[in-house]
Amino acid sequence: MHGLFQLTIRELLSKKIVITVFILATVFCLTLIFALNIKIGGIDSKVILNVFGSSVNHGNSAMPDAATILGYIQTGIAGAVFFISLFISLFATSGLFPDMLKKGNIDLILSKPLSRQNIFFQRFFGGIALVGLNVIYMIIFSWIILSVKFGIWNFRYLFSALIIMIFFFNIYAFMTLIAIFLKNSVVSLLLTYFIVFILSPVIGAIARFGILNDSFYKNMIGILHFSLPKVNETVALLSDIIMSKDFTLGSVWVSLFTGVIAVGLSLMIFKRSDF
């Protein structure tokens, strides 16, 4: 039953991209152990932060408290993991469906006693699972190291892994829809990058600043802004959660909703296609 799921995992591992990300994440986290040295002491509990042996305390300027410094570092790491999950993970998974839909491959898979729905979901969640393991590993490993270094256990930082994976689910669902429709990994990847990093921010800026006056175009922009992935909102949400600020999960629910819609459309096309 889970043969295609396991095959998807092995296929991604064979490309070495996911393994390379895992190794780089490990090296980065181990670097944190030796790079960061923090001391909190004195009457005023002054924070002394050294990076690779060099102090980042400049002159008599006041340093933020340890919790704030930790929040800044964790926000930076979460942001890096977020964009890595977009750039590299999308690149690694972009060929999953187009490769499966090639003549010969799809004929062999459809000859198995599996429903098309089963085939689709095993393929889809196989990609999600491996990317998720890398994200969770990076967040938890860095959380343990930084928590021990600072003596502060910021559990909100762990929540960032869930936010990142929900957003990746949303983007991956869009890319899967494009890939099943066009059956081309390169075009689907480039179109996904365009939607996420160019179209979505532009539409978001137009909606935010109210550039258009015509009601029809304003409504169209509003619909597009609701439907498209929200990079800026997600990065801001990660920062707010980690820094213990007030936040709303509106962008998360929208990402889940539009992602599920994209998955549903992809499944419908896959089930009705004549291979």
Instruction: Provide mean pLDDT across the span 137-155.
Output: 91
Cβ partners under 8 Å of residue 245, min gap 6 = 239
Task: Output the pLDDT for position 1.
Answer: 46
* pLDDT tens, residue by residue, 68-101: 888 999 999 999 888 887 888 899 899 999 999 8
Task: Output the pLDDT for position 265.
Answer: 95
Instruction: Provide mean pLDDT across the span 152-162.
Output: 93
pLDDT: is 214 or 222 the higher one?
222
Question: By C-alpha distance, which of 235, 26, 14, 241 is closest to 134?
Answer: 26
Task: Output the pLDDT for position 266.
Answer: 95
Q: How far apart are CA 139 and CA 160, in angstroms?
A: 8
Average pLDDT, the chain: 85
Q: Which residue range(s) make up the domain with 233?
A: 3-272
How many domains, in total, are found in the chain? 1
Question: Of 61-65, 121-125, 164-168, 228-232, which gets the smallest average pLDDT?
Answer: 61-65
Instruction: Provide mean pLDDT across the span 153-164.
Output: 94
State the DSSP string of 110-178: HTSS--HHHHHHHHHHHHHHHHHHHHHHHHHHHHHHHHHHHT---THHHHHHHHHHHHHHHHHHHHHHH
Instruction: Provide mean pLDDT across the span 213-242.
Output: 84
Percent of the chain with pLDDT over 90: 35
Q: What is the pTM of this model?
A: 0.87
Instruction: Provide mean pLDDT across the span 163-186.
Output: 93
Q: How far apart are CA 9 and CA 131, in angstroms?
A: 10
Tally of CB atoms within 10 A around 181: 16
